[in-house]
Amino acid sequence: MAVFNDTFNATERLLAEHRSVRRFAEREVDLATLERILECGMRASNTGNMQMYSVVVTRDKERLKSLGALHYGQCATAPVMLTVCADVERYHRWCQLRGAGVCYDNFLWYLSGVIDASLCAQNICVAAESEGLGFCYLGTVLYNAKAIAELLKLPKGVSPVITLALGYPEGETTLSERLPLDAVVHYEEYRADSDADIERQHRMREEFPFNRRMVEENGVENLAKLFTEKRYPVDANRAISRALLDEITRSGFMNNE
């Protein structure tokens, strides 16, 4: 299910062929390769060139087990996990050393840190794939943000937002389905799609073999209900949201006085 064509250059093909990797070979990622990838992450665009993020690298096998458990055992064979955090602590300390005020302890700067961390993480992912490595983004970092912060000893001003499992792929990987371009791209102003447009845009996703199998195995009527009733039900969403707000408060990003 290739989405690229002959007009794509090498970088565009690399991006278009991205596959999430969940099984990794028993092969270490050497430090030189890892640091090249991290350097690429640090070159990402960011808010005011302030780099409101930090990356915690986990390679120790026992620590990987502990961190993996907080991600519900996903990607258990990954030799590296990268936890990318929103981080204003480093900037605050620099400001204090220079006699400047501390003013990044609010929700605006949490969002700025999330954006910075996301851009850094995407650069890391592209660099990793160019090296023949694979990765999987673990959204469960937000499910257990407080426990992950405690495990990684994150101080006030630092909160985890992205975890990447990283390593060399083992076995074949599948190119996931994506919505067509016209589903997400709006020129000049937001376009109001018809019901027929929405049906068409989601048809490939609903007909994708993996999704059809998941619908059947979970005994639900359709893919939308698989998401709303099984994968991300509303009660769980609200509980996770409350816990995440508690973690954001713990990390000092909610001082809006």
Q: Over 82-131, what HEC string results?
A: EEEEEECHHHHHHHHHCCCCCCCCCHHHHHHHHHHHHHHHHHHHHHHHHC
Residue 196: domain span: 181-231
* Statement to judge: residues 197 and 100 lie in one domain: no
* Statement to judge: residues 214 and 246 lie in one domain: no
Burial of residue 229 (number of CB atoms within 10 Å: 0-12, 13-18, 19+): middle
Cα distance between residue 68 and residue 83, in whole Å: 12
Counting the structural domains of the chain, the total is 2
- Between 31-42 and 107-130, two packed helices, what is the crossing angle to 10 degrees? 130
pTM exceeds 0.85: yes
* Statement to judge: residues 161 and 216 lie in one domain: no
Structure confidence by residue, pLDDT tens digits, 202-237: 999 999 999 999 999 999 999 999 999 999 999 999
Taking a C-beta distance cutoff of 8 angstroms, is the pair 131, 122 a contact? no
Q: Tokens at residue 37, please? A: 């990838």
Structure confidence by residue, pLDDT tens digits, 113-167: 999 999 999 999 999 999 999 999 999 999 999 999 999 999 999 999 999 999 9
**Sign of the four-CA dihedral 201, 206, 211, 217:** positive
Does residue 1 lie in a domain region? Answer: no
pLDDT at residue 257, as a whole number: 53
Does residue 237 lie in a domain region? Answer: no
Does residue 5 lie in a domain region? Answer: no
* Statement to judge: residues 128 and 197 lie in one domain: no
Does residue 59 lie in a domain region? Answer: yes
pLDDT at residue 240, as a whole number: 95
CATH number, residue 92: 3.40.109.10
* Statement to judge: residues 29 and 141 lie in one domain: yes
Does residue 100 lie in a domain region? Answer: yes
Residue 2 has pLDDT above 80, yes or no: no
Does residue 135 lie in a domain region? Answer: yes
Taking a C-beta distance cutoff of 8 angstroms, is the pair 44, 120 a contact? yes
* Nearest CA-CA partner of 46 in 124, 130, 113, 146: 113
Q: Tokens at residue 17, please? A: 């062929």
